[in-house]
Structure 1
Amino acid sequence: MAKRIQFSRNGGPEVLDVQEFTPQDPGAGELQVENKAIGINYIDTYVRSGLYPAPLPSGLGTEAAGVVVKTGPGVSGFKPGDRVVYAQSALGAYSSLHNVAAEKVAQLPAAISFEQAAASFLKGLTVHYLLRQTYEIQPDETFLFHAASGGVGLIACQWAKALGAHLIGTVGSEEKAQRAKQAGAWATINYRQQNVAQRLAELTDNKKVRVVYDSVGKDTWEASLDCLQPRGLMVSFGNSSGPVTGVNLAILNQKGSLYVTRPSLNGYITRHDELVAASNELFSLIASGAIKVDVPENQKFALSDVQKAHTALESRATQGSCLLIP
């Protein structure tokens, strides 16, 4: 028997239950992966709460690293025993065994541990599409990135430094500011103590920035727009404070003929070759040490402690990535 997390109603962490189940053999084009480490991502809380609806009862999670134990009909390029990682599976990665479409799986280099991979794959692929595709950050470019001490933010700080760019990160405490700076942030803004748009203007000699990356949503929407140069780009890629709704498009005109996009990873990685290209760039940065992925011991949770894990994530008490260990 294997174990997995399921929920039968939407709500808080208390709706998550551990269940035993008999795994089915992988279907055509699928791999069965024995998960060694499972990534916990903020988007999982959106699915659990019902902000992103899923048919109930439902599994949870889309990211993990582990070992292939079986291959389904028609699979090529993978075999039992391969070390692999995935981040775009069907819901159900919070599980000791998970069947995953092979096109969503990447080979994991020996230099990268299962925990490093599960802690960084979805977040790293997200940073890749944000900084390399949605808007291509250039050397010496200054830009704003909200939640710079979060899992995505810390990878973004390191990736920006590797690109020779100047990331200004918003944070909620001095401790988080120090963590972002250690990761490579050029400057930080404490949104609890400082006016974000005003402080950013000071940091940029009133030039502001060409692009803002915002995963917070409702609470930072207008402040983000106020940080942009004329014809600048607002990249809204998350809703940790709630979704941005009821947008008056005229505000984009009033604040400088601005652009706004609401991208997602699934819009940028649609084929296996795109996944391989993005993961190769991410893995090369991790292997070289340019991006370090360290998960604190108190942010590693047993599968049976999933409720504690979600509570910690939503409390904003965590820094960087959290993991479930089956």
Structure 2
Amino acid sequence: MTDHIILLQAPGGTTQFRIENQPARAPGPGEVRIRQQAIGTNFLDIYHREGVYPLPSYPAVIGAEAAGVVEAVGAGVVEFELGDHVAYAGPPVGAYCSTRNIVAEKVVKLPEAISSKTAASSLLKGMTAYMLLEKVYDVREGSIVLIHAAAGGLGSILVRWAKSLNATVIGAVSTPEKASRAASYGADHLIVGREADIVAEVKEITGGVGADVAYDGIGGDMLVKTIRSVRPFGTAVTIGQAAGPVPPISIEELRPGKSLCHPSIMAWCSDTNRYRNAANAAIRAMEMEIVSEIAAEFHLKDVTKAHEEMESGRIAGSVLLIP
């Protein structure tokens, strides 16, 4: 078996990826070596690749989540054994490889019922949903939630999780096909089309009041529309910029008393206790079938095709890399 690692030589397009053979290394003290069976991809990977979120040095290995089997255990590690079914997510990045040595405190055991593919597609997104719905804003019964890209990898989990909290969900999607998917995840109301008047439609759905909280991973000029879709003293949350950088926003857009939040799951996970709580919550959610649908799978060596598919906007769900 030939193991591979994907090196990002410098920030830029997919031409900056380089595939190299990777000999397995013995794990250091406090580490385990994981034979990765599935690697999750996220828009975060694209931001890292492009340099929107710069990495400390290059060449670098990106990727923030994966799942597989413990293949070797370093000195001092007592909580894992060879053959354990495990996953990890969050910092430090470095998942685009066949095997990975990683500190044991970042690794979580998976129940037998959760496959490596499910974990790799849903762990980081589930952790993000936990942070957004239960920590950034306390979504509860009766909350009105606006979710952009409601048929996407993160969006589908947000819809399902919000419904498990008995919230009312307004899902915004780009196409009728994605609207059908979002409806199947439990969205109560749908706003369809890239040119839809988000603000007017949210106001109509909510009787002129607006959403309690709105999650925007679109970026560009969508964020100001998202803020305007939120009720007075509600919260708008920016979690990505798939449509491009967010232009400057006037502070007056936050009147009267609206909150604007820009949380980072990677920053959240820098604290071990927060990381563990979020990972365990995401695993419980997976056991309740709050997961991201797997839209496509690519061999690790076809990482360029995987990124092109993610950036195309054609798919609804998660893209996996298979070593």
**Shorter-chain TM-score category?**
over 0.9
Q: Taking every aligned residue pair, what percent have the same amino acid on both sides?
A: 37
Partner of 1:2: 3
Q: Is the 8 A contact 2:61 2:94 kept in 1?
A: yes
Report the CA distance between 1:294 and its aligned residue. 3.5
Partner of 1:129: 131
Report the CA distance between 1:157 and its aligned residue. 1.1
Q: Name the amino acid aligned to 2:284.
A: S
Give the TM-score normalised by structure 1: 0.93
Q: Distance in 2 between matches of 1:246 and 1:132?
A: 28
Q: Does 1:301 align with 2:303?
A: no
SS of alignment partner, residue 284 of structure 2: helix
Partner of 1:274: 274
Q: Residues 110-139 of structure 1: CA distance to partner in whole angstroms, max 9, x if unpaired?
A: 010000000100111101110011101011
Partner of 2:43: 42
Partner of 1:97: 99
Q: Is the 8 A contact 2:87 2:119 kept in 1?
A: yes
Partner of 1:314: 311
SS of alignment partner, residue 128 of structure 1: helix
SS of alignment partner, residue 117 of structure 1: helix
Q: Does 1:56 align with 2:58?
A: yes
Partner of 2:22: 21
Q: Distance in 2 between matches of 1:51 and 1:288?
A: 34
Q: Distance in 2 between matches of 1:42 and 1:270?
A: 19
Report the CA distance between 1:56 and its aligned residue. 1.0
Q: Residues 216-245 of structure 1: CA distance to partner in whole angstroms, max 9, x if unpaired?
A: 122311101111111211111112122324
SS of alignment partner, residue 5 of structure 2: strand
- Residues 36 and 92 (structure 1), Cα distance of their counterparts in 2 relative to 1, 3 Å cut: same
Q: Is the 8 A contact 2:126 2:291 kept in 1?
A: no
Q: Distance in 2 between matches of 1:185 and 1:222?
A: 23
Report the CA distance between 1:2 and its aligned residue. 2.2
Q: Does 1:204 align with 2:203?
A: no
Report the CA distance between 1:67 and its aligned residue. 0.6
Of 220, 223, 228, the match for 2:222: 220
Number of residue pairs aligned between Structure 1 and Structure 2:
321
Larger mean Cα displacement after TM superposition, 278-287 or 306-315: 278-287
Partner of 2:109: 107
Q: Residues 294-316 of structure 1: CA distance to partner in whole angstroms, max 9, x if unpaired?
A: 324xx100111111110000000
Report the CA distance between 1:12 and its aligned residue. 1.6
Larger mean Cα displacement after TM superposition, 212-221 or 56-65: 212-221
Q: Distance in 2 between matches of 1:252 and 1:197?
A: 15
- Residues 245 and 194 (structure 1), Cα distance of their counterparts in 2 relative to 1, 3 Å cut: closer
Partner of 1:155: 157
Larger mean Cα displacement after TM superposition, 233-242 or 36-45: 233-242
Report the CA distance between 1:292 and its aligned residue. 4.3
Report the CA distance between 1:186 and its aligned residue. 1.1
SS of alignment partner, residue 75 of structure 1: coil
- Residues 294 and 261 (structure 1), Cα distance of their counterparts in 2 relative to 1, 3 Å cut: closer
Of 172, 175, 180, the match for 1:173: 175
Q: Is the 8 A contact 1:147 1:169 kept in 2?
A: yes
Partner of 2:196: 194
Q: Distance in 2 between matches of 1:81 and 1:93?
A: 19
- Residues 243 and 113 (structure 1), Cα distance of their counterparts in 2 relative to 1, 3 Å cut: same
5+ residue gaps, structure 1, are none
Q: Name the amino acid aligned to 2:25.
A: Q
Partner of 1:286: 286
SS of alignment partner, residue 79 of structure 2: coil
SS of alignment partner, residue 200 of structure 1: helix
Q: Is the 8 A contact 1:103 1:271 kept in 2?
A: no
Q: Name the amino acid aligned to 1:277.
A: N
SS of alignment partner, residue 278 of structure 1: helix
Q: Residues 145-179 of structure 1: CA distance to partner in whole angstroms, max 9, x if unpaired?
A: 11111100001111112111111111100000110
SS of alignment partner, residue 59 of structure 1: coil
Q: Distance in 2 between matches of 1:2 and 1:35?
A: 10
**RMSD value over aligned CA atoms?**
1.6
Q: Distance in 2 between matches of 1:192 and 1:62?
A: 29
Q: Is the 8 A contact 2:122 2:291 kept in 1?
A: no
Report the CA distance between 1:205 and its aligned residue. 0.7
Q: Distance in 2 between matches of 1:278 and 1:7?
A: 29
Q: Is the 8 A contact 1:160 1:184 kept in 2?
A: no
Q: Distance in 1 between matches of 2:91 and 2:19?
A: 20
